[in-house]
Structure 1
Amino acid sequence: MMTPMAMPPETVSRDGVTLRLEELVEPRPPIDVPALRYRIEVAGQAVGELRVRLGDTEDLQRHFGQIGYEVYPAFRGHGHATTACRLGLAVMHDLGYGEIWITCNPDNKASRRVCEKVGGVLAETVDIPAGHVMYQHGIRQKCRYRVSV
């Protein structure tokens, strides 16, 4: 868990990928925990976004995940999500987390590979409850990956 003295880094880089802190997102529904929104850059160009969610709620662990990422379609297939996710895990480690959860849709094979490449272990696939916001958006299941940071 993030300690009061811990400050997130504004930039972190690895293997040609940089995360640049864009915003500290205040808690708001449906996730209700603060988050760090990073821009994923390669050679100075934005190729996606990564969110580090600063909490440890059951809903984060089971449904949303504590790290969320998106690589824009034109930049997929180059390992940027994997590298960005590794950088996000390093941020979480530095903020005091020892273990986190990343979730993805069961049919998203690329995201499942990212979870596995960063050391995630598939714990289970869970059904989304009918009243949950994800269910309302057509999402019925999530794969839950446990990652040691």
Structure 2
Amino acid sequence: MTHKELWTEFCSKKNIDINTPYEAWGFGSTEEDMDKLSELVLEGKKFGTASSYDEYVMEDALDALPKIGDYSVILNSQDEAVCVIRTYDVYVRAFGDVPPFHAYAEGEGDRSLQYWREVHETFFMDCLGENKMQFSWESRVVCEKFCVEYIPGKEIADEELLFAEPTMNFAKEIAAYRQEMLDAGSSFDGCFSMKRMPDIQEYVDYCIGWANPRRKADEHGAWGNVLLVIRKSDMKMVGCMQVHNVLTERMKKYTGHVGYSVRPSERRKGYAKKMLAKALDFLSSFGFEEVYVSCLPENEASRKTILANNGEFVETVFVKEDNVTLEKYRIRL
């Protein structure tokens, strides 16, 4: 199927204006890469890609930068159209500041930041070298996240969840989520410092800094990532997670690797189970073989979420400084 044929079929079935702009292209620079990477997209493992911002500048092509809402038809090595994707987040970072969740989103190798850096350092050196530009860890990278909109012959669930790091692209949703949590008197589990930061720009910058791989773990020893959980059908933020890959002593003893919350109006829809599953898969890219998660003994919903992800009860612990009792679970990856 050609890209025009697939686009026509997609527009017809999804009631999209056929005149909506789109690009047709393939991932990678070799036929082998194009087939391998397009297959990762179809499998759901690849939902991110990166390009050189400095190359756009050099070519005076900033108008061509990827934008939220852009459609693309993905091609394999034979120029056959395999799916339609839509960009849902774009940001620019220095190469050395690209966070581990983006590396995970690209879906390649073991999905680790180390693997991503090794592969993309060579890639960007070649790209910039063609324009006689020098590559460094300060070279700027366009990080893009996308969702699959259409695969011929396959149904895609409307309630699919998208995952993204905090950026100002989601400022309105973060603010609405925060307000609903406050109105409901909910605890901000997995939200980092959202409760104490009404300034969304401050909160986003704080989250970006916390996930920056060039930042040393803070004075408590913590290092991790905040993930926004976005419902694809209406782009509403339905949940938030903290995923820790470096734990403080307190986390090791009590709270564990993952904290999460679901928006009060969106609870009891199975989102928490899917969120924790994604967090566990992300943590596997760091090489963890087991992960620890905790919940309050009276929180039956959270307990069910943990057990549904193969959690094994370890012990009940008492956090003296918070005067709270927690149930601690282990999940083997």
TM-score bin, normalised by smaller chain: 0.7 to 0.9
CA–CA distance in structure 1, aligned partners of residues 146 and 263 of structure 2: 20
Give the 5 Å matches for 1:120-135. 120-129=311-320, 132=321, 134-135=322-323
Q: 1:80 aligns with which of 258, 268, 271?
A: 271
2:165 aligned partner:
21
Whether 2:285 is the aligned partner of 1:101: answer no
CA–CA distance in structure 1, aligned partners of residues 287 and 163 of structure 2: 19
- Residues 143, 12 of structure 1: alpha-carbon distance in 2 compared, 3 angstrom cutoff: farther
| Secondary structure of residue in 1 paired with 2:100 | coil
CA–CA distance in structure 2, aligned partners of residues 126 and 143 of structure 1: 6
Deviations 1:33-82 (A, max 9, x none): 01100001112210010110122444213222210000011000011011
Moved over 4 A (4+): 10-15, 26-29
CA–CA distance in structure 2, aligned partners of residues 112 and 65 of structure 1: 14
CA–CA distance in structure 2, aligned partners of residues 69 and 12 of structure 1: 23
Q: Does the 8 Å contact 1:12/1:20 carry over to 2?
A: no
Opposite residue 293 of structure 2, the aligned amino acid is: I
2:231 aligned partner:
42
Q: Does the 8 Å contact 2:315/2:329 carry over to 1?
A: yes
CA–CA distance in structure 1, aligned partners of residues 305 and 228 of structure 2: 18
CA–CA distance in structure 2, aligned partners of residues 12 and 38 of structure 1: 15
Q: Does the 8 Å contact 1:126/1:141 carry over to 2?
A: yes
| Higher strand residue share | 1
1:146 aligned partner:
330
CA–CA distance in structure 2, aligned partners of residues 82 and 51 of structure 1: 15
Greater Cα radius of gyration, structure 1 or 2: 2
- Residues 12, 81 of structure 1: alpha-carbon distance in 2 compared, 3 angstrom cutoff: farther
2:91 aligned partner:
none
| Unaligned residue ranges in structure 1 (runs of 5+) | 1-5
User: TM-score scaled by structure 2?
Assistant: 0.38
Q: Does the 8 Å contact 1:61/1:102 carry over to 2?
A: no
Q: Does the 8 Å contact 1:99/1:147 carry over to 2?
A: yes
User: TM-score scaled by structure 1?
Assistant: 0.80
1:66 aligned partner:
257
Further displaced range: 55-64 or 41-50: 55-64
| Higher helix residue share | 2
Q: 2:301 aligns with which of 107, 110, 127?
A: 110
| Secondary structure of residue in 2 paired with 1:122 | strand
| Unaligned residue ranges in structure 2 (runs of 5+) | 1-98, 106-144, 148-156, 167-206, 212-216
Identity among equivalent positions (%) equals 21
Opposite residue 41 of structure 1, the aligned amino acid is: I
CA–CA distance in structure 1, aligned partners of residues 160 and 299 of structure 2: 25
| Secondary structure of residue in 2 paired with 1:54 | strand
1:3 aligned partner:
none
Q: Does the 8 Å contact 1:18/1:84 carry over to 2?
A: no
State the Cα RMSD in Å: 2.4
Opposite residue 142 of structure 1, the aligned amino acid is: L
Q: Does the 8 Å contact 1:60/1:101 carry over to 2?
A: no
